[in-house]
Amino acid sequence: MPAPDPLHDLGVRAGAEGGRIRVWSEHATSIDLEVFADGDLSWAVERMPLVRDEHGVWEAVSSSLVPGARYGLRVDGPAGSDHAFNPAHTLLDPYARGLSPAPDGSWRGVALDDLTASGFDWGGVAKPRIPLDRTVVYEAHVRGFSKLNPAIPERLRGTYAGLAHDASLDYLTSLGVTTVELLPVHAFVSEQRLVRQGRLNYWGYNTLAFFATHAPYASPAAQAEGPHAVRREFAGMVRRLHEAGLEVVLDVVYNHTAEEGREGPTYSFRGIDNAVYYRHDAHGRYVDTTGCGNTLDFGHETPRRLVLDSMRYFAEELQVDGFRLDLAATLGRDDHGRYTREHPLLQAMREDPVIGGTKLIAEPWDVGPDGWQTGNFPAGFSEWNDRYRDRVRDFWLDDLRRERETGRAGTGIGRFAGRLAGSANTFAIERGPLASLNFVTAHDGFTLADLTAYDRKHNLGNGEQNRDGTDHNHSYNHGTEGETDDAGTRAARRRSIRNLLGTLLLSAGVPMLTAGDEYGRSQRGNNNAYCHDSELTWLSWAHGERDANLLATTRRLLELRRDNPAIRPTRFGVFGETTPGASRMDWFSADGTTMTADGWHSPERRTLQYLAASTPEFEAANRILLVVHAHEDAAEVVLPSPDGVTGYTRLWDSAGDEPVEVGAVHAPGTRVVVPAQSMVLYRAHGDR
């Protein structure tokens, strides 16, 4: 028989007759449970000691730990540079599933029973389990997505229920995305610096509790009813999205907590066992690889277990479909602080039967030593591909600026083509193109529209004298900073947006679209709007503030991606071999001949024809031709004449504001004119 698990069932297991609490601390000398009056979270109506076992788990059983009970912990222990014990503080259980704020700024856990035991019914709705090659991620903020939508009742706007409303579901399904990735929904608080400035943390990357859903995102009625209703509304949102065929991925922040640096607030971990939960140097100072004041120490088993238990809870009990792991390089740092892809936490995620069955997406960097690890996560993870982001922006924006200013674009088309084809130079062949989570924009940084309208960040509204946010945006304002009435500039910007969007949605890999980019949302040049809970960051639903043609273009591109498996291979091909799931890729120059070495690297030759033919595994054979032309002048292109191709039908091009109608069939060898700075997609017909 396997050895008993010493860390089983941490937190509270509550029932109608009371419950059991289990808390881990290696260095504590005593832990007391406090249960508080429902109407006064300053008044403890019960206090009892927990008993320690040989594994550092402290335990007690109390008839007061019924669902809805408010509770906290008093923890004492030794002094020393690594420790921060103070029995005067009431601390939050790290495994608390519900929260209530106390008048003094501390927090109480709220005991909750299992979701289904509390009466929630999943109604037989199963997870969609969308294959990774068919996945299109839509990164959204729970509050910002529906806050302004007049089709949703006002009381539900900006809530979990608002995201689950028919108007939201109809929009998402008609757009064509498959997977909604939500910015953090673990309970969080604003940093002390922001509180002093009268600002707040809108994005949510400052986690207070890893098992509780963020209460302010629930409807007012659910908030008034209490934490059990907040959790029920969250689960109802997941169920409704699943009914619509949409997956739910959570952006999770396990790398640090809201306790900030050593002078920050003590909510939970610091007072329970600071020496183990956080990483320290030899002098007891925090080692900060996150830039947020503290770093959880994943060289130790207990913080690792905390992460796995949290992920399992959300994936199993609350039925979410995956996780985007913020600053995931921190999660792979060993007991010496070095990143390793063999780290036991990363391996355990893959091997866990629940977590390993979800989508795992790593942000593959942090701010510590050797913190940039793109391409170096284990199989089973997709990674945010910052190399893709920067190359695509450079190709369509920086190079355009350079050509206008100097007459030479500066780089050839080869590096761009590598990203288009799945970034094989970044991800190992056994991982394949689906290891690349492709993105051009994300919540942090310029929106897609702002990439084409601003050369510089405009973050004065953040209160940091424009010091925050990156200065390396790879953007191009097309000659005028910010808004303009010049028709030529506006048209050029729209064309660049279509090129960026077309590249993203026609590339091999898993695309991520940032909410609002599909219709041209702007943040007026703010590239770090983390502290703005306002119309600056909320999605607009007013027709006059949405580019209807761009929205139609996005829908058309998503439809084409879905219908053409050649665009979304599951594996890299191997020269001379037939690989099921891979796409055979042939590359041609503007004159229809096979691309030469000089053609790949010459900055003067920035016209490429990319012929991709799928190798059938689960879908019918398919072949597409993508023509990329990145010069300021139009070009004549000879459509290639490879074996088996008898004709080409135009499906989409980026030259015009409106999506094109399906055109006539062109024979191989036909000369066609490709407009300046544009892309054209054809379906190739013929025999295999």
* Domain residue spans of the chain: 11-118, 577-686
Question: Does residue 669 come out as left (phi exceeding 0), alpha (psi in the -120 to 50 range) or beta?
Answer: left
* Alpha carbon 619 to its chain's center: 28
Task: Determine how β-strand 510-514 pairs with β-strand 436-438.
Answer: parallel
End-to-end CA distance of the chain: 56
Residue 576's pLDDT is 66
Task: Determine how β-strand 11-15 pairs with β-strand 207-213.
Answer: unpaired
106-137 pLDDT, tens digit each: 999 999 999 988 889 999 999 999 999 999 99
Structure tokens at 129: 């389990």
Residue 617 banded pLDDT, cuts 50, 70, 90:
confident
Structure tokens at 169: 């579901």
Domain boundaries 577-686, corresponding CATH code: 2.60.40.1180
285-306 pLDDT, tens digit each: 999 999 999 999 999 999 999 9
Read off the pTM: 0.97
Nearest C-alpha neighbor of 422 from the set 473, 383, 469: 383
Mean of pLDDT over the chain: 96
Confirm if 549 and 541 have CB atoms less than 8 A apart: no
Residue 2's pLDDT is 64
Is residue 650 helix, strand or coil? strand
Find the Cα–Cα–Cα–Cα dihedral 189, 191, 193, 198, rounded to 10°: -30
Out of 409-413, 648-652, 670-674, least confident range: 409-413
Confirm if 173 and 500 have CB atoms less than 8 A apart: no
379-419 pLDDT, tens digit each: 999 999 999 999 999 999 999 999 899 888 777 899 999 99
Catalytic residue selected from 321, 363, 366, 399: 363
Q: How far apart are CA 54 and CA 57, in angstroms?
A: 7
DSSP label at residue 300: S
Burial class (CB within 10 angstroms; exposed 0-12, middle 13-18, buried 19+) of 352: middle
Mean pLDDT, range 636-640, rounded to an integer: 97
168-199 pLDDT, tens digit each: 999 999 999 999 999 999 999 999 999 999 99
Residue 4's pLDDT is 78
Other Cβ atoms within 10 Å of 619 Cβ, number: 15
Does the annotation count 326 as an active-site position?
A: yes
One fold for both 11-118 and 577-686? yes
Does the annotation count 363 as an active-site position?
A: yes
Q: How far apart are CA 70 and CA 37, in angstroms?
A: 7
68-82 pLDDT, tens digit each: 999 999 999 999 999
Superfamily of domain 11-118: Immunoglobulins (2.60.40.10)
Catalytic residue selected from 113, 191, 297, 326: 326
